Structure 1
Amino acid sequence: MRLPTWIRTHLAAVRALLVLTVITGLAYPLAVWAVAMLPGLHDKANGSIVESGGRPVASALIGQQFVDSDGKPLAQYFQGRPSAAGIGYDALASGASNLGPESVRDTPADPALLAQGRSPHDAGFRASLLSTVCAESLVVGRREGVDGSRPFCTPDGVGAVLSVIGPRDSEGNVVDPDRVVSINESCSVDPARPTTPFIREYEGVSVECAEFGADYSNGRLVPIRGDAPRHPAVPADAVTSSGSGLDPHISPQYADLQAARVAAARGIGVDQVDRLIADNRQGRTLGFIGEPRVNVVELNIELDAAYPVPR
């Protein structure tokens, strides 16, 4: 007896569903799991868990914050890169700041809201990538006892950027400035403490502070390099976050910069810390991919095991 066409069609669909369910829902996952359990892959498949004292304390793939209850970095630990993942290294909120090299102009805070006791963030302040890097470099410099200045940054740690306003030539260059404004230095609301721009004049025109609400978009943005060293003492990875916000690695240069502080906090010699850094240093993947790096999480765990913090 020949079944009706619509029944044969539905039976064929059911058979295809069952076959694909077995292949993609059972066979394939089991094959992947079996391969992941092979020696050399097992630990990675299980999250690259790092143990200390017989208990899991971290993943070698995800950074952590080594701070106290107030969020201040602990001197006895190496610090990782800044993180834009949640409040820092949040695996459920992996992501970057999404700020690029053209992010040089801050969004100023509303002085009226600041006068009400609001925080700068709640008052609308948003730092550009440049100002974020400038400010973080000063913080790291103070923490490590080195010069935290960087090119295109003011001594106060904001982006040294001018808005040059005036007639332009055919290439868009301002030929005879009418006004020059330091756009990341907002004018003070306290007349007794006026804002002093990082430079007094530009091409013979006095530099002004930025008035809240004023429109300077008709000006040409001109970053000012300043007299900071060409190669800053604070490495770039110390002041910029990774694309995922979860990277546990830092450059060997940043690790070396922190060695003296960590050694002093633990009461040991810098040479002892240097040996641990060398033991945890990883080269380029396959010899040519990426850059040399140091895993901060693994390094700090080994530090605690070898040289516990004095009580």
Structure 2
Amino acid sequence: MHRRVRGEDASRDRNTFRKRDLAAAVAGIKGAVSFDIGLGPYTSFRIGGPADVLVEPADIEDLVQLVRQARRQRVPIFVVGGTNLLIRDGGIRGIVVNMSALRSIKDEPGQVLYVEAGVGMPTLISYAIRRSLAGLEWAAGIPGTVGGCVVMNAGTRLGEMKQSVQAVRMVSMRGKVIDIPSSAIPFEYRRADLPKGIVAGVWLQLRQGVKADIQQVVKEYLHYRRETQPLAQPSAGCVFKNPPKDSAGRLIESAGLKGMRVGDAEVSTKHGNFIVNRGQARAADVVALIEKVRRIIRRQAGIRLDLELKIVGQR
């Protein structure tokens, strides 16, 4: 879940936001507040420079207060929580929000779950299985948060997030809580066209199933993904969008690029459309490797690979 909630450029000089403005923006917040902290541990890539301030709101009321105060101080907010994110080595100026404390799940009538944005997809799938609720099997192996999966309309060959979304709860740029029905959200390939703001929760319409059958589908798909994707290594999922009627992974493998490295960034030997962090990769290494792959595919196949990965922050 990585969405700006103000129009300012995250790449401005870090001295733009004075310490007193940042302090005023986070004053009275109940959740954890950390200044000048590296963002690598908060991304699936394990890569990322520092945030001026990292805030983990305790609840939605805390989030509302943060957004309102940040707006008054003219400090931008950026949310982390998805898997298709690379944060540059210079980090992100302003406030970075980690939604991990918003992790409640509530049962509602008609096989509906209300899930807060910070819930991890593995946790949600386990919760659904215990209640014999089907509809999320496609997400087996996705490590991101529910909020991030909504924002990027996460998906696999088995399905997409949009198929289950009934409504989304957001905190607007003005600090108001708004609920948006799925019928009012244009979902696209790896993107949900949401209003500017922060996803706080989502209502998911699932269906009653047989627990053993759901478990079997999840088990089989996890096995497939472990055999074909580098799930045990830090990555951001698929780097490139699939071109029409083709596969980015196939193109990269056909070009003999599996195993290509820049520093500790490597094109996965398991799946050509993954770049993995072999330990100490920098964002600059990943970006350089992306450009090398793009140039070679453009030269050999005449195809421009568009990014599915989002790259943010300062160089």
TM-score range, shorter chain: under 0.3
Q: Which structure's CA Rg is the greater one?
A: 1
Structure 2-normalised TM-score? 0.27
Identify the structure with the greater strand proportion. Answer: 2
